Structure 1
Amino acid sequence: MSGISHQPFAPTVTELRAGGDRIRRHRHDEHQLVYVSTGVLAVSTAGGRWVASAERAVWLPAGTWHEHRFYGASAFHAVGFDVDSAPLADREPTVIAVSPLLRELLVACTDETLSAPEVRRIRAVLRDQLRRTRQEPIMLPAAEDPRLAEACAIVASDLATPHPLAALASRVGAGERTLSRLFRDEFGMTYPQWRTRLRVFEAMILLAGGTPVTETAHRCGWATTSSFIDTFQRTMGRTPGAYRA
C-alpha cells in the first residue's frame, strides 16, 4: 500500500506497523474504515487530521485523498466497503467510537485465515454495529486563511510555551478580534478549545510512543500533571496512564 497513489479497490487487510511508518497520500474508489487495535494512527486529508486508536476508528469516504502516519508499534486494520453498500452515510471523514464488540469484528474481518462464508457473516454483523455506533467530533481541521494557518503552526511548533491570542495575532499580522473570529468561523471553536484539542492529539501520540505521563503533560503545555490527567480523561474517556498502557 505504501507506494500507491490510487487504488480502485479499498483493501481489507491487517498489517503490523512500526512507529514512524507512513503510508503515502493516496485514495480509493471505495469507502474504507481504518483502525489500530494497538498504537496510534494519524490520518491526514486536505480538510484536517484525525486520530485512530484502540477506542476510535476513522471512516474515509470513497475518493478521499489521505495519508497515514503510525505512532508506536501498531496493529493496523483496514476494511473496504463497496460504494453502493456503505454502512455509514457520511461523505466526509469522521471518527467513530469503537466498542469492544466492534473491535473484535474489525479484527476478525481482516483475518486472512477465515473462509469466505465466515467473512460474509462477520461483515453482516459489522455493518449492523456500524449503523448503531456513535460518531465523535474529534479532529483537527485544516486552516484556509493564511493568517490562521500560520497561527496554528506557531502554536503546534511549541506546545510547552503559552501563546496568548493577542500576541499570536500580532505575530501573524491580524487583529485579536479577527483571529478569534477566524477560529470560530473556520473551526467552529474558540482558540482555547482548539489549543486543548491540539494538545490532546499530541499527547495521544507521545503516550503511544512510551513517553511518561508527567513528561507528556509538560511537553504538551499543561501546568500540572493533575490538570493534564483531568483534561485527557474528559476528552478520551480514560486516564493517560491507562491509555499509555
Structure 2
Amino acid sequence: MADSVRVERGEDRVVATLDRPDVRNAIDREMIDRLHLLCAELEAVPRVLILTGAGGVFASGADIAQLRERGAADARAGINTHAFRRIRDLPMPVIAAIDGYALGGGAELAYAADIRLGAPSARIGNPETGLGILAAAGATWRLPEIVGPARAAEMLLTGRVLDADEAYAWGLLNAVHPADALLAAAHALADRIVANDALATRYTKRALLCPDAAHPAVELDLQAELFERPEKHRRMTAFLERSKR
C-alpha cells in the first residue's frame, strides 16, 4: 500500500501527514484504508494524533474521479463517514494543523478533530452542493456544533469557503500561526495535553462527546473512578506542596 498517509510515531503522539501531492491530498479509498489502520493502532495504544497535509495543502476534498463513479450502495456504505467518525472517537485528542485548502471531505476530516489550528493560507469550506451532492461525512452535524446552526447553514447551503481570519472569527479555527510555525504550534499544544494525566484527558474527551441526555451522570461515573486512583492523590499532593513554596 502506497504511503498516501505518512505516519511518524512518538511515545505520546503520532503525526499523520496526508501525502498525495499530485491531487492536492484528495482523499481516496486507499487513504481512508490507511486512516482506518491508524485508528486501530491508536485505539489499542492511545496517543495524541496530529493530522496535517503535505505540500501546503491539508486536503482538497474527496477524490472526485473516484466519487463520480460511486452509486447509491457506496453512499449508504459511508466510506468517508465511518473513517472520520472513528477519528472523532479516538481515545486521546486529535489536532488538525491546516495549511491551504481543507475542502469538502478534507473539511469534514478537519471537523472530526478536537482542535483545529490554521496557517494564514487556510481555506475551509464545503462546496458539495455545487457538485450535485451533499456534505455527508460529518459536516451537517459537526459544523453546527462548532460554528452554530446559522453559520453552518450559510457555509453548507452556499458553498462559502472561509479564509483563515474568518474561520478563526467563527470559532472554526482555535488559532492561526505562520505556515512555518504551524506544526510546531500543534506540537506545543500536544505538549500541554500530554503533561496532564492521560486517563483524565481520555475521560474528559469521552464526556465531551456524549449526547446531552448522558449528562451529568456520565461525568459523575467517570469522576468516581478517577477519585479512587493513586494518580489523583499524587498530583494533588504535588500541587499542594508547590503552593506552600
Same fold (TM over 0.5): no
Query: Would you tell me which structure has more helix in proportion to its own residues?
Result: 2
Q: Give the TM-score taking structure 2 as reference length.
A: 0.30
Q: Give the TM-score taking structure 1 as reference length.
A: 0.30
Query: Would you tell me which structure has more strand in proportion to its own residues?
Result: 1
